[in-house]
């Protein structure tokens, strides 16, 4: 089954949508401190009363009252009167109040480092976007010091526009392509770096002057769906992104899954052809080598007779290829059809291995609808053994380019919240 359309709008990220964060609170396999559970619930709802929270989470009124009182005293939550013009309270007693996140308590930055452009978003503790910034970069491998210097310049640009400094920021989330170990902050391989880096997170922290978390960029896109998009109320789903590379993120039990060593879900480097096309990772037969930007551009130059005016710009080459396909150029059509068949194979493997509720296709190349034409998805379903079960649903989400940085905001907010609240309460409450 295919569902197309926008996953949301740029303003929807922490803007017009109420709250942010996963909406499911009772599916995680690991018990979490009550104060963290209650805080996350308030942030996800945007605002809620103590009574509503107790009913939703199955927590006693006494426990809710004790823990939320501590969270208010610590400056994480605040009370706000409930506006009810249709039923004004008459008589005596305490008026009803809602709980909200104290948005100004902390500020975080989410940053995506890309092949052509770096993007960044400034957010408050409630997940509301305050500002964004971007800067171009050159699409070539570079040393870690240069990449970090670019990221630092982008951070300063973002903060200066708001009259803020790094001391006003509590945490930064950074995403980039490659095999990024979230736990250690090391990068075993990245198409952006000229060499592995065993302590890249620490180098970012030194440059930024604040705690920093580093993750794979496909995980950022998945976190954006989990915190701000169509995955908020889903327990299990996969996100596949196609741009200069092919990435994948996986959510199990409403939580991002990274693998035992933090470098799992490298769908782009699963093998679809023995001794096949050369991938930028140095190995042959990777899915990415048939579907990603550089793979399409490699064949586009031939299909377009290597137009010199376009050869220096892969994106321009792809735009020209797509226009030719739309115009009926059979060579151009064959390139997209072939890429679509390989993508069908990759998606079938995802459905077969993880049985997700939905597979979300996202990324800049979703404009090339040949990659997810009905014939492609029908072939995916035909290759997948489903038995009597309905097939995995496929959705197409066309977010804007800032979605990656917004996912990095979720990364930063999650890490910061866990650091601040992921422990027993200090006032002897029921948490």
User: Domain of 347: which CATH number?
Assistant: 3.30.420.40
In a domain, 45, yes or no: no
What rounded mean pLDDT belongs to the chain?
A: 87
pTM of the predicted model over 0.75: yes
Tell me how far apart the alpha carbons of residues 59 and 52 are, in angstroms, rounded to a whole number. Answer: 10
Does pLDDT of 312 surpass 70? Answer: no
Same domain, 218 and 267: no
The token pair that represents 146 in the structure block: 């240069």
Q: Is 181 exposed, middle or buried (0-12, 13-18, 19+ CB in 10 A)?
A: buried
Tell me how far apart the alpha carbons of residues 171 and 181 are, in angstroms, rounded to a whole number. Answer: 18
The answer to whether 111 touches 174, Cβ cutoff 8 Å, is yes
pLDDT band at 363 (very low <50, low <70, confident <90, very high): confident
Same domain, 217 and 316: no
DSSP SS3 for 384: coil
The helix, strand and coil proportions of the chain, stated in percent and rounded to the nearest 5, come to 40, 20, 40
In a domain, 411, yes or no: yes
Angle between helices 50-57 and 61-73 (to 10 degrees): 120
Q: What is the pLDDT of residues 227-267, one digit of tens each?
A: 999 899 999 999 999 887 899 999 998 899 998 877 789 99
* Range with the poorest average pLDDT among 90-104, 237-251, 325-339: 90-104
Contacts of residue 287, Cβ cutoff 8 Å, sequence gap at least 6: 246, 267, 268, 269, 270, 271, 272, 342, 343, 345, 346
The answer to whether 35 touches 431, Cβ cutoff 8 Å, is yes
Does pLDDT of 83 surpass 70? Answer: no
∠ at Cα 160 (128, 144), nearest 5°? Answer: 90
What is the reported pLDDT for 408?
98
Same domain, 216 and 135: yes
Tell me how far apart the alpha carbons of residues 247 and 362 are, in angstroms, rounded to a whole number. Answer: 10
Does pLDDT of 90 surpass 80? Answer: no
Q: Phi, psi (5° rounding) for residue 140?
A: -145, 155
Tell me how far apart the alpha carbons of residues 312 and 21 are, in angstroms, rounded to a whole number. Answer: 41
In a domain, 393, yes or no: yes
Does pLDDT of 119 surpass 90? Answer: yes
What is the reported pLDDT for 86?
52
What is the number of domains present in the chain?
Answer: 2
What is the reported pLDDT for 14?
40
Q: How many CA atoms lie within 13 A of 297 on its CB side?
A: 17
Residue whose structure tokens are 């035909």: 382
pLDDT band at 29 (very low <50, low <70, confident <90, very high): low
What is the reported pLDDT for 149?
97
Same domain, 213 and 306: no
Tell me how far apart the alpha carbons of residues 366 and 206 are, in angstroms, rounded to a whole number. Answer: 37
Same domain, 130 and 257: no
What is the reported pLDDT for 6?
34
In a domain, 156, yes or no: yes
Same domain, 173 and 205: yes
CA separation, residue 132 to residues 82, 253, 366, 374 (Å): 32, 31, 23, 36
Same domain, 148 and 168: yes
Q: What is the pLDDT of residues 176-208, one digit of tens each?
A: 999 999 999 999 999 899 999 989 999 999 999
In a domain, 228, yes or no: no
Tell me how far apart the alpha carbons of residues 115 and 112 are, in angstroms, rounded to a whole number. Answer: 10
What mean pLDDT comes out for the span 125-149? 95
Domain that holds residue 316: 233-397
Same domain, 270 and 157: no
Query: Higher confidence at residue 422 or residue 306?
Result: 422
Q: What is the pLDDT of residues 377-402, one digit of tens each?
A: 999 999 999 887 888 899 998 778 89
The token pair that represents 282 in the structure block: 């140095």
H or E stretch at 320: helix 314-326
pLDDT band at 297 (very low <50, low <70, confident <90, very high): confident
* Range with the poorest average pLDDT among 224-228, 352-356, 360-364: 360-364
In a domain, 94, yes or no: no
Does pLDDT of 307 surpass 60? Answer: no
Name residue 246's beta-bridge partners: 242
* Range with the poorest average pLDDT among 43-52, 278-287, 406-415, 416-425: 416-425
What mean pLDDT comes out for the span 137-152? 93
pLDDT band at 426 (very low <50, low <70, confident <90, very high): very low
In a domain, 31, yes or no: no
In a domain, 336, yes or no: yes
Same domain, 328 and 408: no
* Range with the poorest average pLDDT among 12-16, 67-71, 111-115, 239-243: 12-16
Same domain, 184 and 309: no
Same domain, 372 and 295: yes
Same domain, 114 and 245: no
The answer to whether 208 touches 167, Cβ cutoff 8 Å, is no
Beta strands across the sheet bearing 171-176: 129-136, 117-124, 107-112, 171-176, 212-216
The token pair that represents 323 in the structure block: 């226009």
182-212: burial string, b at 16+ Cβ within 10 Å, e else: bebbbbebbbbbeeebeebbebbbebbebbb
Q: How many CB atoms lie within 10 A of CB 102?
A: 17
Q: Is 145 exposed, middle or buried (0-12, 13-18, 19+ CB in 10 A)?
A: exposed
């Amino acid at each position: 089954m295919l569902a197309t359309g926008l996953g949301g709008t740029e303003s929807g990220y922490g803007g017009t949508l109420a709250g942010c964060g996963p909406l499911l609170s009772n599916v995680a396999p690991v018990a979490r401190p009550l104060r963290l559970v209650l805080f996350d619930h308030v942030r996800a709802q945007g605002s809620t009363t103590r009574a509503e929270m107790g009913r939703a989470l199955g927590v006693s009124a006494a426990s809710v009252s004790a823990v939320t009182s501590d969270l208010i005293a610590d400056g994480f939550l605040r009370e706000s009167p409930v506006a009810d013009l249709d039923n004004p309270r008459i008589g005596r007693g305490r008026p009803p109040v809602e709980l909200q996140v104290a948005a100004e308590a902390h500020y975080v930055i989410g940053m995506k480092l890309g092949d052509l452009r770096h993007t960044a978003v400034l957010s408050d503790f409630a997940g509301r976007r305050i500002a964004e910034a971007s800067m171009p970069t050159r699409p070539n491998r570079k040393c870690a010091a240069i990449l970090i210097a670019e990221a630092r310049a982008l951070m300063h640009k973002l903060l200066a526009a708001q009259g803020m400094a790094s001391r006003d920021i509590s945490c930064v989330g950074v995403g980039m392509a490659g095999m990024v170990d979230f736990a250690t902050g090391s990068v075993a391989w990245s198409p952006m770096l000229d060499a592995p880096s065993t302590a890249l997170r620490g180098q970012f922290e030194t440059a930024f002057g604040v705690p920093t978390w580093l993750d794979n960029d496909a995980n950022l896109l998945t976190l954006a769906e989990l915190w701000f998009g169509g995955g908020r109320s889903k327990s299990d789903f996969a996100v596949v992104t196609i741009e200069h590379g092919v990435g994948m993120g996986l959510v199990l039990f409403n939580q991002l899954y990274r693998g035992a060593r933090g470098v799992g879900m490298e769908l782009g480097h699963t093998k679809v052809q023995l001794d096949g096309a050369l991938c930028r990772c140095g190995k042959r037969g990777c899915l990415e080598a048939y579907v990603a930007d550089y793979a399409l551009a490699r064949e586009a130059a031939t299909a377009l007779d290597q137009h010199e005016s376009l050869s220096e710009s892969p994106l321009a080459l792809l735009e020209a290829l797509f226009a030719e396909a739309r115009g009926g150029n059979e060579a151009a059509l064959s390139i997209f059809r072939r890429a679509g068949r390989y993508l069908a194979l990759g998606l079938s493997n995802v459905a077969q291995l993880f049985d997700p509720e939905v597979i979300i296709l996202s990324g800049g190349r979703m404009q090339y609808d040949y990659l997810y034409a009905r014939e492609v998805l029908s072939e995916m379903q035909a290759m997948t053994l489903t038995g009597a079960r309905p097939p995995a649903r496929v959705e197409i989400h066309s977010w804007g380019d800032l979605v990656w940085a917004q996912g990095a905001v979720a990364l930063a907010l999650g890490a910061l919240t866990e650091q601040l609240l992921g422990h027993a309460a200090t006032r002897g409450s029921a948490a």
